[in-house]
Each structure stands twice: as structure tokens, then as C-alpha cells.
Amino acid sequence: MTRNPLDTVRGQLDFIGELAKIEPSVIEQLKNSRKVIEVSLPVRMDDGKVEVFTGYRVHYCSWRGPYKGGIRYHPTANLDEVKALAAWMTFKTAVVDLPYGGSKGGVICNPQELSIFELERLTRRYTSMICDDIGPFKDVPAPDVGTNAQIMAWVMDTYSTLKGYSVPEVVTGKPISLGGSYGREGATGKGLTICAKEAADRIGLTLKGATIAIQGYGKVGFSVAKNLAAMNAKIIAVTDIGGGVYDPKGLNISKLKAYEGEKGSVASFPQTKPISNEELFALKCDILVPAALENVITEQNADTIDAKMVVEGANGPTTPEADKILHEKGIFVIPDILANAGGVTVSYFEWIQNLNRDRWRLEIVNKRLEERMVNAFQVVYNLSKERAESLRTAAYILAVESLAEAHLKLGLFP
Ligand code: NAD
């Protein structure tokens, strides 16, 4: 049975609460969402029939600032998953010290089976139904699995139309022409690469020539592949929803992306061997990057992992039981709430630029991203050494202590 990610979140909070001696009522509040919105979305399909979809938006915690979190379009999206993802956003924005809380949205649908017109109508209907609950100072959505810059453009346009004026700062991850930030598209992968480099320096691994295996070749998987390949690392295996490819000599990242764009999957890319997810996880390599969905490294396969480092691109890819096994095996794990925070960091930069009606050059965005990620990595790493805990535990201690401190200063209403 698949593990409920919300149980994982609550377990993590109980553990950190005891370890860091956090006031139990703070932990209790952090185990629950502040507000849950469920919407039913009637959408006219291209054949004239009406189909009804279900969507969610979860406001998890806003102690450190407005709610912030992506929108996922996926057939298995569900409320507990959205809540867990919203919780992880809350911890992530605290770890990288962004003035945000955490939220998330989801619509149960398969975007690959919808036409572009159906996707647009679905997105506009969803936005119109959560319109009063999002806003530049309330809750700022962004892309996640199954959504992209075009979908964010429709969110912005629908919200702006309903308000009667243009509001680019209501959503991040927009196209550049609508106020999107340079560097947002590849920001999560860049952040993962910065963390991998920081970790590699500390465990004596050289990224040049290092072998990399990646699960997922979407926005995150491709951008981390591109960034690591630019540092002369060798991407030897990639899987996606349609299959996987392996080449011990190293895959050509851009040709693989062009092929995937055309065929819909990396599967059967010429001159490579096919590889399954399980084989990819068990592959001997230097760095393993899960960049698809949660709960993929479990107690069933954790023992087979033969990598020096796991860099979590996806949110919640490792179950707590598997995490323990990886720790015992001495594998260096960079946890999701630190490793993949580059995306929300550049989303924050986009929001600042929009609020100021400004545009930063790519070099400035990348420099500021690097500064923030290196700093966050150092803080988490030093805390992990100081307390003799894993990087994940240290990241959670940092997040929960910072949230508890904010809560203490805010006090309780009424
Ligand atoms: P995406 O939709 O662009 O890509 C998802 C990829 O996962 C696709 O290549 C898909 O084929 C693959 N996939 C799906 N099921 C799979 C399976 N069973 N086996 C192998 N591959 C499979 O999504 P994304 O934005 O790249 O997000 C990936 C992960 O990263 C998610 O967990 C997301 O929450 C997390 N994340 C994304 C961002 C961001 O900026 N987009 C930021 C932080 C974290």
C-alpha cells in the first residue's frame, strides 16, 4: 500500500517536536492545514460534453508570510497529498528564509489527455473558483507537476480579468513576456546542482566525471541534468512515465530532451539500453536524483541504492523507513526542503520584480539564487554537524524552530 504523505509529515513533526523540544501546541498546529478549499469544476470538452473535475487549494501556514505553493495537475492528485505538499512548502520557505508560508493546489486530471483548449478552460474555471483565496499578499501559486508557464499565464489572466486590472504578482513561473523572471524555468535544477556541489566538496566527490541517474525528465529532471552536464558530470540514466534509458558513456542531454519533446517520453532513445525505475534506483552511480513523484524510495528498494549521494528533486521521494536505511548505509541525502528550494527562491525573486514593476538580468537572478542556496546549505550542514543529526533532521529543526519563533512573536488571535 502506498504511504500517505500526510502521515509522513505528521511523523516528521512529532519527531522534530520531541528532539528540538518545541511547544506541543505549535507542533499540533503545524500538523494541520489552516484552510482547505475543495472545488468542483464543470468543463466543456472539445466534443461538446461537460466533464466535472475536482480541484483543491490548501492554505497550510502563514506565520512567516503569505501562502506560497504550486498547482499540480495529475490523475492521482488527492487532498492528503496536496496537504502534505503544502506542509513541505511551509518548511521549505523557512529553510531558505523566504518571507512566505506554505500552500499547494491540485486538480485531479491527466493533462496529457486534455487538448490545449480543454486545459485552458479547466485552468480558468479552477482559478475563478479559488479567486477569493489567492492574491499577491494572500496566496501566490506557481507551476508543479503537470503545469507550466502557459497555465500560469491563464491563472494570471483570469484573476486579472475578474479584478479588472493586471495583477502579474498573483502567480509566479509565468512566461517572460508576462513578467516571468529570467532563470525561473531552470531554477529548481540549478538549486539542486548548487546543493550537490556544496555536498560534493564536503564528501570529497568531484562533479567532473561523476555519474548521475535521474528519475523524471520534466522541468526539474531536465534542468538538473543540464546543469550537472554543464559541470562535466555524466548523466548515465534517465527514466520518465513512459520508460527509461541507460548509457554508461553518458547521454546527450539536449538531444534526449528534443527526442522526449517529440515522442512524449525518453523511452527508446537511439543507442541506449532500456532501464526501469527499479533498475535506475539500484544503479551504481555517484548521484541519484529522484525528480518525479513522492514515495519512490521505500523500505523495499532503499537497500538496493548504490549511490554516494541522493539529491531530492521531487517533494517527499523518500519514506521515513527508507531514509533510515540510507542513513545507515552512509549515503549522503540532501533533503527536498533544502535541495529543491531553488524554484520557490526564484519565484520569490519574480514576485519582488512584479511588485516593483522591475526586471532583473539573468546574471543577477543566478547570482542571488546561488547566494541564497549556498547560505541555506551551509546553515543546514553546520547545524547537522553541531547536533550530530542528518541533513534532513537539521533542515527540519531549522524550519520548525523558525516557525515556532514566528508564532511566538505573532501570538494568538483573539
Ligand atoms: P513535471 O510534470 O515537469 O515532470 C514530472 C516528470 O516525472 C515527467 O518527466 C514524468 O514523465 C515523470 N514521471 C511521472 N511518473 C513517473 C514514474 N512513475 N516513473 C518515472 N518518471 C515519472 O514536474 P516537475 O515540475 O519537474 O516536478 C517534479 C518533482 O519536483 C515533483 O515532486 C515536484 O513537486 C517537485 N518540485 C518541482 C518544482 C518546480 O519548480 N517545478 C520545485 C520544487 C519541487
**Residue bearing the CA closest to ligand 1, atom 15:** 241
Tens of pLDDT, residues 8-60: 999 999 999 999 999 999 999 999 999 999 999 999 999 999 999 999 999 99
pLDDT band at 1 (very low <50, low <70, confident <90, very high): low
Give residue-wise pLDDT tens across range 113-134: 999 999 999 999 999 999 999 9
Q: Is the CB of 188 under 6 A from ligand 1?
A: yes
CATH architecture of 187-339: 3-Layer(aba) Sandwich (3.40)
Overall size of the chain counted in residues: 414
pLDDT in the model for residue 16: 97
Is the CB of 179 within 6 Å of ligand 1? Answer: no
pLDDT digits (tens, 9 = 90+) for 290-347: 999 999 999 999 999 999 999 999 999 999 999 999 999 999 999 999 999 999 999 9
- pLDDT mean over 209-218: 98
Quickly state the pLDDT bin for 2 (edges 50, 70, 90). Answer: confident
Q: Is 257 one of the catalytic residues?
A: no
Position 119 scores a pLDDT of: 98
313 lines ligand 1 (CB under 6 A): yes
pTM over 0.95: yes
pLDDT surpasses 70 at 108: yes
Is 212 touching ligand 1 by the criterion CB < 6 Å?
Answer: no
Which CATH architecture does the domain made up of 35-166 adopt?
3-Layer(aba) Sandwich (3.40)
Domain coordinates in residue numbering, the chain: 35-166, 187-339
CA of 344 from ligand 1 middle (Å) equals 15
CA-nearest residue for atom 17, ligand 1, is 241
Mean pLDDT for 364-371 is 98
pLDDT (tens digit, 9 = 90+) per residue, 151-165? Answer: 999 999 999 999 999
CA of residue 20 to ligand 1 center, whole Å: 32
pLDDT (tens digit per residue) in 24-34:
999 999 999 99
If you measure from the C-alpha of residue 181 to the centroid of ligand 1, how many angstroms do you get, rounded to a whole number?
A: 21
* Domain 35-166 shares a fold with domain 187-339: yes
Write out the three cell numbers for 200.
Answer: 560534493
18 C-beta neighbours (distance < 10 Å), count: 11
The pLDDT of 143-152, averaged and rounded, is 98
**Ligand 1 centre and the CA of 93: distance in Å?**
19
Residue 77, ligand 1, Cβ within 6 A = no
Secondary structure of the chain as H, E, C letters: CCCCHHHHHHHHHHHHHHHCCCCHHHHHHHCCCCEEEEEEEEEECCCCCEEEEEEEEEEEECCCCCEEEEEEEECCCCHHHHHHHHHHHHHHHHHCCCCCCEEEEEEECCHHHCCHHHHHHHHHHHHHHHHHHCECCCEEEEECCCCCHHHHHHHHHHHHHHHCCCCHHHCCCCCHHHCCCCCCCCHHHHHHHHHHHHHHHHHCCCCCCCEEEEECCCHHHHHHHHHHHHCCCEEEEEEECCEEEECCCCCCHHHHHHHHHHHCCCCCCCCCEECCHHHHHHCEEEEEEECCCCCCECCCCHHHCEEEEEECCCCCCECHHHHHHHHHCCCEEECHHHHCCHHHHHHHHHHHHHHCCCCCCHHHHHHHHHHHHHHHHHHHHHHHHHHCCCHHHHHHHHHHHHHHHHHHHHCCCC
Q: Which of 68, 83, 92, 104 is catalytic?
A: 104
Please tell me if the CB atom of residue 340 comes closer than 6 angstroms to any atom of ligand 1: yes
